[in-house]
Structure 1
Amino acid sequence: MLLLAIDTATAGVAVAVHDGDRVLAAARAGDARHHNEVLVPTIAAVLEEAGRERTDVTDVAVGVGPGPYTGLRVGLATARTLALAWGARIHGVCSLDVLAAQAVAEGLTGEFLVATDARRREVHTARYLATTEGVRRTAGPDVVAPASLTPDVPVVGAGTRLYPDVLGPARAPFDADGAALAHLVVDTLAGRATWELLPPEPLYLRRPDAVEPGARKRVTA
């Protein structure tokens, strides 16, 4: 097995390569404005660092959001194209789940929220429960105004940087990590975790701004 993990739902791009036992290489590059410019070169660099060829890839994991439209479009289009070209299986993952897995790996237990920047003065959020048996999402994902939240549990994610008056002090992790995404998918495929694997389709929580125009009204004299 050789799994390529890609996430573009948060700032920059996160890429990793996992051989089924360990992460061979991982990198983060760019920012929210340059996903399209840095993703493919970062993938090539990570594969080179891992000492593997693109033809070795058997699985592709991709964060499906929620996140900004442009970043998701770039990541998902690239993941689907590469999986098709390489004959690899493709697995989608809620990007908030990746952040939750990172938080638990860093020692967070019990109930907590993940909150990321949804722009328009809103946050993407989901609630989790981490126990000795594992971690699972118990609510969400949703897109809400920060003022509508009254957190009674710890909050992690980039939303805490933006709205500390509501969500509490800034608390990492802030961005999805390629290595964490790779571990999540490998462990789920191996039966060591029970995260939900999704189709490689963007997880949008808002209606699109652009809508198809309705039929023209007939004008009479």
Structure 2
Amino acid sequence: MLLLALDTATPAVTVALYDGDGGAVVAQSNQVDARRHGELLLPSVDRVLSDAGVGLAAVTGVVVGVGPGPYTGLRVGLVTAASFGEALGVPVHGLCTLDGIAYAAGATGELPGEFVVATDARRKEVYWARYADARTRVGEPSVDRPDDIADAVGSLPAVGAGALLYPDAFADLRPDLPQHQSAAALAALAAEKLAAGEELPAPRPMYLRRPDAKVPANYKVVTPR
């Protein structure tokens, strides 16, 4: 089982090739740039495959982060994953982006109990979820203003770039743990779940709110009649 994993739901454009049989990352690429998802993703895939010394045809499955995340960036990864799956005739699995960050943080062994993962949702909000451990999410991901959730999760260890933006709301920040998504962690989590016989979610976007861009309600027609 050779999994190609990618995620563009956060400012991180991350790609990894994971050997599910050997339980190891073969190659990976991680770049943080919130404005260049479309520009960086395919070259990153090419680079990862080249570093691994394999062609795209060797991939037996695709794993993609489904968010939550902003509309435009998230769609880049989902559409690319769907295209690869269709072209190769292989399954495409979706996983929550926050779950990947939680899994990477838990792999360090520094989080023995509950913790929270938060990414930047813009508009002075965060996408967040609470975890009992690195593999167990408590409830569904949400989008909220940090001050509105401070009483509920503010005392828990907080992981992720979103939490670091709001130190007043997240008292126990963990900047030493992974701040951004890692496709390598996402792939490892997917491989673990697949090996256990779990059915992974469909690759459908987890938006949690409407896109920032909207069609004007009353726009002036400027084209000739």
TM-score by structure 1 length?
A: 0.89
Residues 139-150 of structure 1 mapped to structure 2, 5 A cutoff: 139-150=139-150
Partner of 1:54: 56
Count how many residue pairs are aligned between Structure 1 and Structure 2: 209
User: 1:2 maps to which residue?
Assistant: 2
- Secondary structure in 2 matching 1:110: coil
2:118 maps to: 115
CA–CA separation in structure 1 for the residues paired with 2:142 and 2:69: 11
Aligned pair 1:93/2:111, yes or no?
A: no
Conserved? CA contact 2:155–2:170, under 8 Å: no
Q: Give the superposition deviation at 1:135.
A: 2.7
The answer to whether the 8 A contact 1:158-1:170 is kept is no
Cα deviations by residue, 1:99-124 (Å, 9 ceiling, x for unpaired): 11011101212111111100000000
SS at match of 1:164: coil
C-alpha contact 2:64 2:203 (8 A) present in aligned 1:
yes
Q: Which amino acid aligns with 1:9?
A: A
| 2:94 and 2:201 in contact (8 A); partners too | yes
Please state how far the C-alpha of 1:197 moved relative to its aligned partner: 2.3
Question: In structure 2, the residue corresponding to 1:10 is in which secondary structure?
Answer: coil
| Matched position secondary structure for 2:169 | helix
Q: Residue type matched to 1:115 in 2?
A: A
Indicate if the aligned counterparts of 2:12 and 2:181 stay in contact, CA closer than 8 A.
Answer: no
Query: Stretches of 4+ moved more than 4 A in 1?
Result: none
Tell me how far apart the structure 1 counterparts of residues 97 and 140 of structure 2 sit (CA, whole Å): 12
Structure 2 residue aligned with 1:204: 207
The aligned residue for residue 155 of structure 1 is 158
Aligned in 2, Cα 1:212/1:184: closer, same or farther, shift over 3 Å? farther
CA RMSD in angstroms comes to 1.9
Deviation at residue 146 of structure 1 after TM alignment: 0.6
Partner-residue secondary structure (3-state), 2:135: strand
| C-alpha distance in structure 2 between counterparts of 1:46 and 1:126, whole Å | 30
Q: What's the CA shift for 1:140?
A: 2.5
How many angstroms apart in 1 are the aligned matches of 2:50 and 2:56?
9
Q: Given that residues 18 and 187 in structure 2 are in contact (C-alpha distance below 8 angstroms), is that contact kept between their aligned partners in structure 1?
A: yes
Alignment of 1:64-103 (within 5 A): 64-103=66-105
Q: Does 1:137 align with 2:140?
A: no
Q: Say if 2:159 and 2:174, in contact at 8 Å, map to a contact too.
A: yes
Letter of the structure 2 residue corresponding to residue 90 of structure 1: V
For residue 223 of structure 2, what is the aligned residue in structure 1? Answer: none
Correspondence for 2:196? 191
